[in-house]
């Protein structure tokens, strides 16, 4: 192939089915005799369940069954396990339906299975539950205080885990600093809002004992593993298929109670059972993200050098520990607090606490947006204190280029490659930073309230090097597998354990294979999301698919080429060592005319004519890729905002960014990921926030009250890339899925704070709603 | 997502609709459905009967004559926003319609449905109050006309009786040398009005304010006039300082709503800001 | 979602009379039915200090059928009483307490009320912007109705 | 139950339906036209947008019976004679979708938008799709796709 397929824009192969309405989302599927499941959720955030009277619901025509927590427990259903077990972690058991206590307003109390959706919904109204309300706590810090309501007897003071990490000597740094700034920062709770609500369709075949679960999920093999443990269903008789999935953003990683109940019901009733989440239900029963309260101290020298950072964080875990929840505010957060800077002394301690709220787990960025926001706000506060330009404070502290090496932070991680300083300068140049500052000065003279914000970041992606992950507490291996299977006529199927739900893997993974084998992208079919078709997998989250999943495909493809070479040697009657593979042909070095096409080798592999009997036939290879390190994308985002001085309303007027996500397979797709990431991050800065009242009622319970970003809230983004290949995988890829989100929140928050500088405002917590900004401007905080 | 059960009647005439309405306890009118269906899907509203008036053609019309404009209850927001007659004669109403929800909601939601529901954050009530609209309601025994100032009674409560059907809205033509404008500060999620203000001013030939009416929505349990501001404008040349001073009184005496999007204090402040902007825009429109 | 309620009303009836009527289910039913959007299905005394009932409560089309109890928490005749009410309707619940202080005033009764209310379930999660107003609406009409009803009953 | 007569994508249907059946549910569950997705309960997300008598509506906030006697067009009917509608083509060409869940509604809203305004500015496009929430794309490529389709259709 003359043109490189890797690195070029190829239109997505997913799109024809999706633009014509032919996607197969879980709720689109219908099976014969399918019944419908609905779940009654507690209207109380904390209550003792005194009595459940389901007799009227059971008597309703069309109702097949009503289950309670004890029905499931007596039926052998185990609590949902936690997949990231930290030392000394305290786990309050999470039964799919509450046994005697409801601990948040999404907690399932009873489940109805009926012959149609209407009946299943109507029957919920007929279940009479006698609750005794208990005191409620929703705040992560308050939950740890004496006298706070207790959620689980296992976790004293509601502390599910305490975790700390540090490097250098932060106390000494604080003591010896020219200045120390203390600030409390709140990273508010977010609701992921994949536009497709979750759904599950369980199909148990009593005759064979086979259970299939179709569901909205990012990692079917993890679900199979967990579901096998929860249900006692043997893995080899359990198939998880996640067809088209309408967005995940982390919220579809976990095993949820609802799909366990659907499986249990299908086994009990011997017929398919479907559950489809409603949006109001999604807001309560699907995980939330972020929700940190942090007390921060930053130590600096007069010249702007940052010498130390000390952080204490209360990370709200919600009512139960979700599958990966303990990972997020620890390893994905704490060690990333050094960020892209040379800060030599960092210490962080984290209290993961249970509260009467929806469980919190990984949501786009997971830990890194929290770390980046915290650090970038503090850097700006240093600039404010020293009356320095925020860009100059960043220049002073940013890690110098380490293009071919590694940079060891003062904590656990060694960054893989990068030109952080170069990307900062590129972004400032692209934004016309000097000119923007002049415009700002001019605008201020005219009474306008204008701000410029910078966010410089590095984040951690590509989970995970298995040994590192295990040492950090992973209960599930996060390596990735691939099977590349060549058919006799030269077409190829790739089975990957990664799962795409918008990321375009069916295109980019095909590009990797086509590029190497000298085929057209159309000749390669990517199969994902089905445990019966794919050898194994760990799924898609944490921007890992290209760096781990893509790398596995790359290695498997190389193995196919090597295997083919043995066959080609016989076909060409040449020594294997003399053969080269280029442009889809094996040829003898220096004798290009003596060649055999890859497709001919494929045919020979299955229908041998020249190959001796002792050579292994077939042409497929499996690889499991276990990277040597994580990957660390980085970049700088610059935002400009204008604030309406009368109302406090913030408008983004300019947005410029430079991101280094390593080697790019498909620039169009990477750019799309960055766009989406930016909008999601800005959503947190300006509008989004889950609001609970003191009773644990979620007041922002629908899209009417939870403000999601819409098109008219944004200008056109000016994005660009800088590619520093990662040395930890053969593709040189890092991760692109979360970078935009990691960076944009702080860029916009800093811009708003910069706009408010003339009003003497140093910090306000997100979301920076019109009212909050107006209050800040008018001294009414 | 699944509403509770109800009886459904598709009325083909106004008289049929009010007949059904009068006969059934707990019957509600179904116009575009964009207020009642979401409430029913959440099972917060459970009417026993819905009377669908969507098939009554004469309820979906805009008639402009020399004295005013009549808008049928089933006229959609999109029809109002797209009407040249309304844009030219009643730009405030045109703008209010254009700012409701989104295109799909405007294509389906109706003026009658919106005002009969009387959501405290709905846009139209501010405009109808400021423009002195009249609502025409029919029941089986006759019909009556209700002035906007009498129509919006309280939170989601209008002067309509349970057996009455709102059939149209009549808005008198603006006097010569009048201007009207609607300005809205939307709630970022639902884009309902946190505060919406409609100002209508008439200037005499010396440029002095001869008449001013200001309707405010979103701020309180139901839309209302800003009478103190109106008085402060009368007899004055409406320069920026006068407008500012008058608008500063717009929230006086108001018991403003408070929710997770805006405190009562902030709403009251927005009332003054949006009122000033609405008056300015209305003055700018005076021919 | 929590509501705070306080205010006072003047009842055109002597305090002793008001005190007695306050605990009469029939008076309470008549009072409640005067509130727009409230329709009492039943209310009965089931113990010394406890009532059990059912009512449709709401504003305009947003309404639900609630079942619940009213419990007298504290009582100092004839000047102070504190009630607690709990009700549920489908996936929604409401609870609250209200303290009434009664004072004689020229043969009439000055009744001071203070309380808090809480709402949960779907109502709280999708109706937050209306709860405050609905609460105010019910209290405003409720106290007025109570004063009227007590005065009327006392004259019988 | 009540009689529903409706034409969907040019095909006339007659069904007995419960009055409370929503148009979106009728399309998906009764007709099997699952290209129309349901993303919220409260008419914000726009995933369920279809054309009802030619204009874009949120089919989860319309009773099937309200569409009695009407013509409905869903995403499944946009591709004609093997050719993609210019908006479908433009969404593909410009990477205007990622997970695809909002795409049907987004495209049908854009059909309505371009019918009313064949030459929209970027701002008009951004305002025109306010009733459609996309959590993946950040909207930039959707706007680009609609601009490209508008140019193609003019």
If you measure CA to CA, which chain D residue comes closest to A708? D133
Name every chain D residue with its beta carbon within 8 A of the beta carbon of B40: 20
Measured CA to CA, the distance from residue A716 to residue B160 in angstroms comes to 48
**Exposed, middle or buried by CB within 10 Å (0-12, 13-18, 19+), for B181?**
buried
B172-209 pLDDT tens trace: 999 999 999 999 999 999 999 999 999 999 999 999 99
Are A719 and A657 a contacting pair, CB within 8 Å? yes
Which residue among A15, A675, A677 sits closest to D97, beta carbon to beta carbon?
A15
**D17 CB within 8 Å of a chain B CB:** no
If you classify domain D86-153 with CATH, what class do you get? mainly alpha
**Does residue A694 sit at the C interface (CB-CB below 8 Å)?**
yes
Give the pair of three-digit tokens for residue A688: 């989004």
The answer to whether A280 contacts C126, with C-beta atoms less than 8 Å apart, is yes
Is B1 domain-assigned? no
Residue D91 in contact with partner chain A when CB distance is under 8 A = yes
Q: Does domain C2-155 have CATH number 3.30.530.20?
A: yes
Work out whether the CA dihedral D9, D14, D15, D21 comes out positive or negative: positive
CA distances from B9 to A45, B19, B24, B29, B156 (A): 40, 11, 11, 10, 24
Average pLDDT over all residues of chain A: 96
Looking at B147, B172, B197, the residue that finishes a domain is B172
Question: Residue A1: which pLDDT band, with cuts at 50, 70 and 90?
Answer: very low
What's the domain count of chain B? Answer: 3
Q: Assess A698–C contact: CB distance below 8 Å, yes or no.
A: yes
Per the CB < 8 Å rule, is B260 touching A700?
yes
Task: Compare CB distances from C132 to B45, B118, B257 and report the shortest one's residue.
Answer: B257
User: Could you tell me which residues come within 8 angstroms of residue C20 by beta carbon, excluding any fewer than 6 positions away?
Assistant: none
For chain D, residues with pLDDT lower than 70 are none
- Residue A476's pLDDT band, with cuts at 50, 70 and 90, is low
On the CB side of C74, CA atoms within 13 Å amount to 8
Please check whether residue A347 is in contact with residue A374, taking contact to mean a CB–CB distance below 8 angstroms: no
Within 13 Å and on the Cβ side, how many CA atoms surround A572? 29
Out of C61, C133, C134, whose CB is closest to B45? C61
Q: Find tokens 């009842």 and name the residue.
A: C11
Say if residue A35's pLDDT is above 60: yes
Name the residue ranges covered by the structural domains of chain D. Answer: 2-75, 86-153
Q: What are phi and psi of A540, to 5 degrees?
A: -120, 120
Which among B41, B54, B102 has the least Cβ separation from residue D66?
B54
Q: Which chains lie within 8 Å of chain C at 3 or more CB pairs, if any?
A: A, B
Given a cut of 60, whether residue A51 has pLDDT beyond it is yes
Residues of B in contact with C59 (CB under 8 A): 155-157
Q: How many CB pairs under 8 A join B and C?
A: 57
Question: d(Cα A664, Cα A504) in Å, to the nearest integer?
Answer: 13
Last residue of a domain, one of B123, B140, B172: B172
Residue-wise pLDDT for A588-602, tens only, equals: 999 999 999 999 999
One domain, residues B44 and B79: no
Quote helix, strand, coil % in chain B, to nearest 5. 35, 30, 35
Total residue count of chain C as it appears in this document? 156
Provide the CA B6 distance to its chain's centre, in angstroms: 28
**B264 occurs within a structural domain:** yes
User: In the structure encoding, which two tokens stand for residue A169, read together?
Assistant: 């000597």
> How would you classify the pairing of strands A449-458 and A634-643?
antiparallel
Q: Which residues of A touch D51 (CB under 8 A)?
A: none
**Inter-chain touch B107–D55, beta carbons under 8 Å:** yes
What pLDDT is attached to residue B287?
Answer: 65
Stretch (H or E) spanning C155: helix C122-155
Residue range A609-626: mean pLDDT, rounded:
92
For the segment A389-400, the average pLDDT, to the nearest whole number, is 98
Is residue A475 very low, low, confident or very high in pLDDT (cuts 50, 70, 90)?
low
CB contact under 8 A, A708 and D130: no
- In chain D, residues with a C-beta closer than 8 Å to the C-beta of B7 are 19
Helices and strands counted in chain D (H then E): 5, 5
Whether B44 and C136 lie within 8 Å, measured CB to CB: no
Residue A2 has a pLDDT of 41
- Gap from D37 CA to chain A (nearest CA, Å): 8
Cβ of residue A116 closer than 8 Å to a chain B Cβ: no
For residue range A669-707, list pLDDT tens digits in order: 999 999 999 999 999 999 999 999 999 999 999 999 999
**What range defines the domain where residue B77 resides?**
57-172
Q: State pLDDT tens for residues C46-92.
A: 999 999 999 999 888 888 999 999 999 999 999 999 999 999 998 89
Contacts of A716 in chain D (CB under 8 A): 122, 140, 143
Contact A23 D88 (CB under 8 A): no
Which of residues 259 through 288 in chain A touch B, CB cutoff 8 A?
278, 280
CATH topology of domain D2-75: Ubiquitin-like (UB roll) (3.10.20)
- Round to the nearest angstrom and report the end-to-end CA distance of chain C: 40
Residue A314 predicted with pLDDT over 60: yes
Q: Residue for token digits 């946190």?
A: B194
**Domain A480-625: top CATH class:** alpha beta
Residue B124 forms part of a structural domain? yes
Least confident of A399-413, A418-432, B225-239, D109-123: A399-413
Buried b (16+ CB within 10 A) or exposed e, D84-96: bbbbbbbbbbbbb
- What residues of chain B lie within 8 A of the CB of A707, using their CB? 187-189
- B158 located within any domain: yes
The rounded distance, in Å, linking the Cα atoms of A92 and A80 is: 10
Whether the pLDDT of residue A472 is over 80: the answer is: no
| Domain ranges, ordered by start, for chain A | 31-134+220-246+252-274, 289-463+629-777, 480-625
CB pairs under 8 A between B and D: 90
CB of D56 within 8 Å of a chain B CB? The answer is yes
pLDDT of residue A27: 98
Considering the segment(s) A289-463+629-777 as one domain, its CATH architecture is 2-Layer Sandwich (3.30)
This model of the complex carries an ipTM of 0.97
pLDDT greater than 80 at residue A473? no
Q: What are phi and psi of B249, to 5 degrees?
A: -95, 0
Q: Is A695 in the C-facing interface, judged by CB distances under 8 Å?
A: yes
Angle between helices D103-116 and D86-93 (to 10 degrees): 120
Query: Do B252 and B269 fall into the same domain?
Result: yes
- Residues A219-238: pLDDT tens digits? 999 999 999 999 999 999 99
Chain D interface disruption, residue of B30, B41, B81, B102, most D CBs within 10 A: B102
Nearest-angstrom CA–CA distance, B242 and B236: 8
What number of other Cβ atoms are within 10 A of residue A147's Cβ? 8
A478 confidence band (pLDDT: 50, 70, 90): confident
Interface of B with C (CB under 8 A): 28, 36, 39, 42-47, 117-118, 120-121, 154-157, 221, 255, 257-261
Contacts of A687 in chain B (CB under 8 A): 188-189
List pLDDT tens digits, range A170-223.
999 999 999 999 999 999 999 999 999 999 999 999 999 999 999 999 999 999
Q: Min CA distance, A139 vs chain C (Å)?
A: 16
Q: How distant is the Cα of D59 from the closest Cα of chain A, in angstroms?
A: 15
CB of D101 within 8 Å of a chain A CB? The answer is yes
pLDDT at site D81:
94
The fraction of chain A above a pLDDT of 70, given in percent, is 99
- Beta-sheet strands, E only, within A407-554: 407-408, 414-415, 449-458, 480-486, 492-496, 524-528
What was the pLDDT predicted at A611?
A: 86
Contacts of residue D83, Cβ cutoff 8 Å, sequence gap at least 6:
none
> Which CATH class, in words, describes the domain spanning A31-134+220-246+252-274?
alpha beta
Structure tokens given for A344 = 């030599």
Q: What is the CATH number of the domain that holds B24?
A: 3.30.43.10
Give the separation between CA A632 and CA C84, rounded to whole angstroms.
Answer: 58
Is residue B135 over pLDDT 50?
yes
Q: Which residues of B touch C36 (CB under 8 A)?
A: 157
pLDDT, one tens digit per residue, over D68-112 is 999 999 999 999 999 999 999 999 999 999 999 999 999 999 999
pLDDT in tens, A334-389: 999 999 999 999 999 999 999 999 999 999 999 999 999 999 999 999 999 999 99
Q: With contacts defined as CB-CB under 8 Å, which chain C residues touch A700?
A: 125, 128
**C61–B120: do the CB atoms touch at under 8 Å?**
no
- Longest alpha-carbon distance in chain D: 47
CB atoms within 10 A of CB C73: 12
**DSSP-derived secondary structure letter, A148:** P
Q: Tokens 């300006």, residue?
A: A686
Distance CA A319, CA A321 (A): 7
Read off the pLDDT of each residue in B31-58 and give the average, rounded to a whole number. Answer: 95
């Amino acid at each position: 192939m003359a043109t490189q397929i890797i690195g070029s824009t190829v239109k997505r192969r997913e799109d024809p089915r999706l633009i014509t309405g032919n996607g197969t989302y879980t709720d689109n599927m219908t099976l014969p005799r399918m019944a419908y499941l609905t779940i009654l959720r507690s209207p109380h955030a904390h209550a003792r369940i005194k009595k459940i009277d389901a007799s009227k619901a059971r008597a309703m025509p069309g109702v097949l069954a009503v289950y309670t927590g004890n029905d499931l427990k007596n039926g052998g259903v185990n609590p949902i396990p936690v997949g990231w077990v930290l030392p000394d972690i305290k786990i309050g058991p999470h039964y799919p339906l509450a046994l005697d206590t409801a601990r948040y307003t999404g907690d399932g109390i009873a489940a109805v299975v009926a012959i149609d959706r209407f009946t299943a919904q109507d029957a919920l109204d007929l279940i009479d539950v006698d609750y005794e309300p208990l005191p409620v706590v929703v705040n992560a810090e308050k939950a740890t205080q004496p006298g706070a309501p207790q959620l689980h007897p296992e976790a004293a003071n509601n502390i599910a885990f305490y975790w700390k990490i540090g490097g250098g000597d932060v106390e000494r740094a604080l003591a010896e600093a020219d200045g120390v700034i203390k600030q409390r920062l709140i990273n508010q709770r977010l609701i992921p809002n994949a536009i497709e609500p979750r759904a599950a369709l369980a199909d148990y075949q009593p005759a064979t004992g086979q259970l299939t679960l179709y569901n909205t999920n990012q990692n079917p093999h993890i679900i199979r593993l967990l579901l096998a443990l929860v249900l006692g269903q043997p893995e080899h008789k359990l198939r998880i298929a996640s067809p088209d999935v309408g967005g995940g953003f982390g919220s579809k990683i976990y095993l949820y109670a609802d799909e366990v109940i659907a499986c249990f019901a299908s086994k009990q009733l011997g017929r398919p059972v479907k559950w489809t989440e409603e949006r109001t239900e999604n807001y309560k029963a699907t995980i939330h993200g972020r929700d940190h309260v942090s007390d921060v101290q930053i130590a600096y020298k007069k010249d702007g050098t940052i010498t130390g950072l000390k952080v204490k964080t209360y990370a709200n875990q919600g009512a139960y520990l979700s599958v990966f929840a303990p990972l997020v505010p620890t390893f994905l957060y704490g060690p990333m607090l050094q960020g892209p800077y040379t800060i030599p002394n960092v210490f962080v301690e984290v209290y993961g606490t249970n509260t009467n709220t929806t469980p919190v787990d990984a949501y786009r960025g997971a830990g890194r947006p929290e770390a980046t926001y915290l650090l970038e706000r503090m850097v700006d506060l240093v600039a404010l204190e020293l009356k320095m330009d925020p860009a100059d404070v960043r220049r002073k502290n940013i890690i110098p280029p380490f293009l071919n090496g590694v940079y060891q932070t003062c904590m656990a991680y060694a960054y893989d490659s990068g030109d952080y300083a170069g990307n900062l300068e590129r972004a400032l140049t692209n934004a016309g930073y000097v000119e923007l500052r002049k415009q700002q000065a001019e605008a201020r003279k005219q009474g306008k309230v204008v701000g410029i914000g910078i966010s410089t970041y590095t984040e951690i992606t590509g989970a995970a090097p298995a040994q590192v992950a295990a040492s950090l507490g992973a209960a599930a291996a996060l390596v990735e597998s691939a099977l590349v299977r060549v058919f006799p006529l030269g077409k190829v199927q790739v089975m990957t354990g990664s799962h795409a739900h918008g990321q375009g893997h069916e295109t980019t993974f095909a590009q990797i294979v086509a590029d190497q084998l000298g085929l057209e992208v159309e000749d390669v079919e990517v199969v994902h999301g089905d445990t019966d078709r794919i050898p194994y997998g760990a799924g898609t989250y944490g921007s890992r698919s290209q760096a781990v999943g893509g790398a596995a495909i790359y290695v498997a493809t190389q193995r196919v080429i090597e295997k083919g070479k043995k066959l080609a040697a016989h076909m060409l009657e040449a020594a294997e060592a003399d053969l080269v593979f280029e442009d889809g042909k094996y040829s003898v070095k220096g004798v290009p005319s003596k060649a055999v096409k890859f497709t001919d080798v494929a045919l020979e592999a299955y229908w041998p004519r020249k190959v001796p009997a002792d050579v292994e036939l077939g042409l497929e290879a499996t690889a499991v890729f276990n990277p040597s390190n994580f990957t660390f994308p980085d970049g700088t985002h610059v935002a400009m905002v204008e604030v309406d001085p009368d109302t406090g309303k913030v408008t983004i007027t300019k947005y410029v960014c430079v991101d280094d996500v390593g080697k790019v397979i498909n620039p169009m797709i990477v750019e799309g990921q960055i766009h989406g990431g930016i909008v999601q991050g800005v959503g947190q800065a300006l509008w989004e926030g889950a609001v609970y009242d003191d009773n644990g009622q979620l007041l922002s319970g629908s899209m009417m009250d939870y403000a999601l970003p819409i098109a008219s809230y944004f200008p056109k983004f000016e994005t660009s890339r800088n590619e520093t290949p990662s040395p930890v995988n053969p593709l040189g890829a890092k991760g692109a899925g979360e970078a935009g989100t990691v960076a944009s929140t702080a860029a916009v928050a800093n811009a708003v704070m910069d706009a408010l500088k003339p009003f003497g405002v140093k910090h306000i917590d997100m979301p920076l709603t019109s009212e909050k900004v107006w209050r800040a401007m008018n001294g009414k905080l | 997502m699944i509403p509770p059960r109800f009886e459904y009647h598709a009325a083909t005439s106004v008289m049929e609709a009010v007949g059904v309405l009068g006969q059934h306890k707990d019957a509600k009118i179904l116009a575009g459905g964009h207020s009642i269906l979401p409430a029913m899907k959440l099972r917060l509203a459970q009417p026993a009967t819905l009377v669908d008036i969507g098939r009554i053609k004469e309820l979906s019309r805009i008639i402009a004559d020399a004295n005013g404009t009549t808008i049928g209850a089933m006229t959609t927001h999109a029809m109002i926003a797209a009407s040249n007659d309304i844009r030219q004669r009643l730009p405030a109403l045109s703008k209010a319609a254009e700012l409701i929800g989104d295109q799909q909601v405007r294509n389906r939601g109706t003026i009658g449905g919106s005002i009969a529901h009387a959501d405290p954050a709905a846009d139209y009530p501010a405009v109808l109050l400021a423009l002195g609209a009249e609502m025409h309601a029919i029941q089986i025994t006759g019909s009556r006309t209700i002035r906007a100032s009498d129509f919006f009674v309280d939170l989601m409560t209008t002067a309509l009786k349970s057996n009455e059907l709102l059939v149209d809205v009549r808005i008198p033509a603006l006097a010569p040398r009048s201007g009207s404008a609607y300005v809205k500060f939307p709630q970022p999620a639902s884009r309902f009005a946190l505060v919406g203000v409609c100002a209508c001013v008439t200037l005499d030939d010396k440029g002095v304010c001869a008449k001013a009416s200001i309707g405010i929505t979103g701020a309180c349990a139901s839309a209302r006039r800003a009478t103190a501001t109106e008085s402060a404008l009368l007899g004055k040349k409406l320069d920026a300082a006068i407008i500012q001073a008058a608008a500063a009184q717009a929230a006086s005496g108001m018991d403003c709503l408070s929710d997770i999007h805006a405190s009562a204090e902030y709403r009251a402040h927005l009332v003054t800001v949006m009122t000033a902007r609405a008056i300015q825009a209305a003055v700018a429109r005076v021919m | 979602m929590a509501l705070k309620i306080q205010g006072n009303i003047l009842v055109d009836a002597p305090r002793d009379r008001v005190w007695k009527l306050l605990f009469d289910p029939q008076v309470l039913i008549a009072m409640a039915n005067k509130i727009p959007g409230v329709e009492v299905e039943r209310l009965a005394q089931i113990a010394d200090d406890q009532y059990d009932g059912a009512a449709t409560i709401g504003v305009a089309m947003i309404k639900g059928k609630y079942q619940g109890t009213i419990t007298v928490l504290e009582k100092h005749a004839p000047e102070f009483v504190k009630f607690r009410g709990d009700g549920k309707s489908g996936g929604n619940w409401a609870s609250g307490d209200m303290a009434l202080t009664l004072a004689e005033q020229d043969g009439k009764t000055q009744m001071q009320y203070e309380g808090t209310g809480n709402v949960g379930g779907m109502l709280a999660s999708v109706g937050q912007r209306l709860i405050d107003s609905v609460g105010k609406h019910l209290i405003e009409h409720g106290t007025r109705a109570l004063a009227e009803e007590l005065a009327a009953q006392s004259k019988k | 139950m009540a009689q529903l007569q409706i034409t969907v994508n040019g095909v006339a249907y007659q069904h007995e339906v419960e009055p409370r059946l929503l148009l979106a549910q009728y399309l998906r569950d009764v007709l099997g036209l699952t290209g129309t997705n349901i993303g919220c309960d409260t008419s914000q997300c726009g995933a369920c947008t279809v054309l009802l008598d030619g204009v874009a509506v949120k089919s989860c906030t319309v009773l099937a019976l309200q569409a009695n006697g009407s013509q409905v067009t869903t995403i499944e009917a946009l591709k004609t004679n093997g050719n993609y509608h210019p908006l479908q083509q433009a969404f593909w060409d410009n990477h205007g979708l990622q997970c695809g869940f909002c795409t049907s509604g987004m495209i049908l809203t854009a059909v309505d938008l371009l019918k009313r305004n064949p030459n929209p500015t970027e701002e008009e496009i951004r305002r025109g799709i306010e009733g459609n929430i996309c959590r993946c794309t950040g909207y930039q490529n959707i706007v680009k796709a609609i601009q490209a389709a508008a140019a193609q259709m003019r």
